Structure 1
Amino acid sequence: MTMQELAQAVAAGRVQGFEAISLEGGFYVLQVRLAEGLRPVRNEGGQVLHLRSTTQVREVLRDWASLPCELVQHCAHDEICAAHPTAVQPLRVPLSLEPRE
């Protein structure tokens, strides 16, 4: 979903919220939560949008600060080493999209 498609989906009331997925190396990718599931936010070239900070996440989503956003961080060590016999749920923390002073 491009930023233009995202704006149209928000205007149509289809967007339930956002997820900022924390990746190893200090990157974040955005997913849009829709009734039909999650969709990644892509740049105009079709590549998944990579952001360098939560500040950038806030800047990209500033027009939709009223929608909920969660910072999601998976446990990479447990995923790689398969340390748990059951799936480990990712850490989910509410992320305010209000601009920081």
Structure 2
Amino acid sequence: MNLQNLATHAHAGRIDALELISLEGGIYLLDIYLQGQRHSLIDARGDVWHLRSVEHARDLLRELPELPFHLVQQSPYDEMCGLAEGVREPLRVPVGMRSQW
């Protein structure tokens, strides 16, 4: 989903939530939940948009209404420490869509 489609759906109240996925190397991807389906934010070329930070995401989303917005990060800690195997839920931190500065 491109930014224009995201804005259209957001203003129409169809966006359930946004998740900013943190990846190794300082890359962030924006997942958009639209009526129960997940979509990735894409750029003008149709490639998944690589964001640089939470503030970069906020800057892109500044014209949208307030939506549920979470920073999601997988933790390699369990693997590094040799803890028991099993499914580990990612860290999900609610963040505001507007900077608190």
Instruction: Give the partner amino acid of 1:12.
Output: A
Instruction: Give the CA deviation at 1:72.
Output: 0.1
Q: Where does 1:8-19 land on structure 2 (aligned, <5 Å)?
A: 8-19=8-19
Give structure 2 stretches of 5+ with no counterpart. none
- Aligned-partner SS, 1:51: coil
TM-score under structure 2 length normalisation: 0.85
TM-score under structure 1 length normalisation: 0.85
Distance 1:40 1:83 in 2: 32
User: How many residue pairs were aligned?
Assistant: 101
- Aligned-partner SS, 2:55: helix
Partner of residue 58, structure 1: 58
**Contact 2:3–2:41 (8 Å) recurs in 1:** yes
Distance 1:96 1:88 in 2: 25
Greater shift in the superposed pair: 84-93 or 71-80: 71-80
After superposition, the C-alpha distances for 1:59-89 in whole angstroms (9 at most, x for unaligned) are 0111125111000001246579x95432110
- Aligned-partner SS, 1:62: coil
Q: Where does 1:37-52 land on structure 2 (aligned, <5 Å)?
A: 37-52=37-52
Distance 1:90 1:74 in 2: 5
Distance 2:30 2:75 in 1: 18
* RMSD (Å), alpha carbons: 2.2
